[in-house]
Each structure stands twice: as structure tokens, then as C-alpha cells.
A and B are shown apart, each in its own frame.
Chain A
Amino acid sequence: MNINTTDLLLVVVAFVAATALYAAFLLWQRRLPGQPFGNSARATMYLTRSATALEYYGLRRKEIRVEVDTVRADLAAADPDDLDAMLGGFGPPRTLAAAMASELLRPSFLRGTIWFGGALLVSMTVTIIGADAFLGGFEAVAEPGDQASWSFAGSMADATMGSDARSSTISFGRLTLLVLPLVAFVAGLRLWRLARSRGRHARDQADAYMATESTLPPSTR
């Protein structure tokens, strides 16, 4: 895979613009009917972060929707002047999600993807920075007609100095192969969760038992 640095920048800009548009759409779509726009935006962002955190803790989509809708309905009906205090009372989304999930850290699609995607992003960033430094150095010393290449962890940068300008390509090479395990991980995890959902009732019973045990005074155990 060869990527021109200008193309890469355009991709990043397009991604940021698309994300901003999508965020604005979500704010409008999920607005709280009983609240002014500012309150609604803050509440929606809080609920979105809570939903993400709940997914991080391994709750299923249906469970997440139930928990978020419960909070959302009460936020919508709150006095607009009290909304900030109410959001403060819920605490940080991640803390709320941890409590909602009974502090059970189930295997999570999102958590695995974040860690793997993060590792991939760091690898690509290191490669780009290294390649950029190489190309800068090459441009400073190269004569017309010179060629040079640089490699790091299976990725390569090639540069050629023409009569009036430098041409270059960055090849991520084997780094892109990291995407394959990511796809396999996502597909495997989906299948695993599908298989586990058959035993959902039994597991929920177990969760309920644990929650009850942990909240009863010691004298009753």
C-alpha cells in the first residue's frame, strides 16, 4: 500500500470533518425535548460517553439502551436549572458505567478494538514520523538523480530527487497485515458473544446472586 503524504493529510482532514458533522447530527437527533439546546447538548454528550463506557464494560446493546434511556428520560424531565447539578450527581460517565455494570469487566468488543487500534495507530505514527525525518534529511543532501530508501518494521519510504523536485512514497508494507488480525478478532468476538448470548439467562442469574451477596450485611450471609 503506497500513500502519498498529501493524500494522507486529506484523508485525516476528511475524517475530522465527517466526525464533526456526525457529532452535530447526533446532538440534533438525540436532543432532549424538555431542555434548552445547551442543556440538551451537555446531557447528550454525557449520555453518549456513558453509553461508550457501558460498552467498554461489556454490556450488550440492549442493556446499554435500557440504562441510557432510563437516565435520559429523567434528565429530560428535570428542571433546566437543576440539570448541571444532576449531571454532577451522576458523576463521571466511566464511574457511573462501572457501577452500572456491577464492576464486572466482561470481555468487550470495544475495549479490544480500542487497544488493538491504538497499537496500530502508534505504529503508523512512528513510521510516518520516521519517514518524514528521512525524507527531510534526503532532501537536504540529495543531488538530482539520487535515490534512497528507508525501512522500519516492515514499512518503507522511497525517495528520488528529480531535477527540480523530490518524489517520494511511503509503503506501510507488513504493518497493514496487522489489520487482518484485527478483522479476525472482531469477527471472532462477535461469534463468541453470539454463542454466549444463549446462556444469557443463566449468567444474569449469577450476576444477580453476586450483586445480592455483595450488598447484604455480613450477618446475613
Chain B
Amino acid sequence: MLKGLLSLLLLSLLAEHDDYGYSLVERLRAGGLTDVAEGTVYPALARLERGGFLVTSLVPSDRGPARKYYQLSTSGRDELGVRRASWNTLTNVVHHFTNGEKT
């Protein structure tokens, strides 16, 4: 997977609704990233949280300790916009070259 793409996907998923780590893993898998590993997603969430793009809250669980739910912060929403824009630019460039349109 391209560097930075996972962070974009996580920010996009969290823009839909708040969620916890394992649920995000399952949503990514359900969306087609069948081989995405927990060991990749959780560190990415930790980095985004440390970067101030996510805020967290503990929600009691009936199956054990309280779960940490992630939510986009204001800077997280801004970051998502920036990353979406850069991703669109990148895909346009790749599409341009891979479809033989280059001059």
C-alpha cells in the first residue's frame, strides 16, 4: 500500500462516524483491503492521535475494559481535506501516464 494511504483511509472512515480500532480494521477489510493487518492499523491510529488529528474517548464495553473510540478533530478534518486533494492529484497524474495520454 502506498505510504500515507492508510492514514487517508482511516481519516475518511472516521469522517463517517466515530469508531474503535478493531471495527476500523473490519471496515477496511469489508471495503476490500482483505489483507490489512491490525499491526498496521493501530500504529497508524496512534500516529494520527499523536499528531492531533484524532481525539479519543473511552466508552464502557459490556465485554471487558472500556474501548477507545476515535473521532476526527478539527485539524483532522483539515488534514483529511489536504490528503484527499493530494490523493486526487496523484491519481490524476497516474491516470494520465498509464492511459497513454502523455505528450
Contacts and interface: CB of A to CB of B under 8 A. Distances in A.
A162 B79 CA distance: 82
Contact of B7 (A70, A95, A215): A215
Main SS class of interface, A: helix
B4 A217 contact: yes
A208 B50 contact: yes
Contact of B46 (A34, A67, A220): A67
Nearest to A208: B51
Interface residues of A, number: 34
Interface of B: 2-4, 7, 20-22, 25, 37-40, 42-44, 46-48, 50-52, 61, 63-68, 79, 82-83, 86-87, 89-90, 93
Contacts, number: 99
A219 B90 contact: yes
B63 A212 contact: no
A96 B65 contact: no
A73 B48 CA distance: 19
Contact of A217 (B3, B48, B52): B3
A216 B4 contact: yes
A206 B83 CA distance: 20
Nearest to A212: B51
Contact of A90 (B37, B63, B67): B37
B2 to A, nearest CB: 7
Contact of B61 (A76, A100, A102): A76
B38 A77 contact: no
A89 B41 CA distance: 10
Given A69-B65, A78-B22, A89-B39, A217 B90 contact: yes
Contacts of B82: 220
